Amino acid sequence: MQLRKARAWYQANAEQYTPEVIRQIQKKLDLPQTGIVDHTFLNNVGVWQASFDLLLASGRGIPVSADTESFNFPANGVLTPEQLAKMFPSGLSRPESMIRYVKDIEKIVQTWDTLDTAGKRASAIKTLLNQYSQANGFPAPNLQSVQMNPGRSGSFSSTSWRIKINAASLNDTMDPEQIREAMATLYHEARHAEQNFMSVRLMLGAGLTPAQIGEQTGIPKEVITAAARKPINPASVQGIVANEFYQSSFGVYAKARNKTMSDLNTRYGEMLAARANLSNLEEKRRKAAQALASAATPTLRTERQQDLQQLDSQISAARTREATATRNYNTIYAAYRALPGERDAWDAEGALPVVRYRNGIK
Number of residues assigned to the chain: 362
Higher pLDDT, 361 or 92: 92
Please provide the distance, in angstroms rounded to a whole number, between the alpha carbons at the two ends of the chain: 48
Q: How confident is the model at residue 289 (pLDDT cuts 50, 70, 90)?
A: very high
Q: Is the pLDDT of residue 107 over 90?
A: yes
Tens of pLDDT, residue by residue over 306-322, are 999 999 999 999 999 99
Coil vs helix vs strand at 31:
coil
Residues ≥6 apart with Cβ < 8 Å to 152: 166
Query: Are the CB atoms for 195 and 249 separated by under 8 Å?
Result: yes
pLDDT at residue number 137 = 96
Q: How confident is the model at residue 147 (pLDDT cuts 50, 70, 90)?
A: confident
pLDDT at residue number 249 = 97
Q: Could you tell me what percent of the chain has a pLDDT over 90?
A: 87
The average pLDDT across 202-231 equals 97
* Average per-residue pLDDT for the chain: 95
Domains of the chain by residue range: 2-79, 93-253+352-358, 256-337
Q: How confident is the model at residue 90 (pLDDT cuts 50, 70, 90)?
A: very high
pLDDT at residue number 296 = 86
The average pLDDT across 325-342 equals 97
Q: Is the pLDDT of residue 167 over 90?
A: no
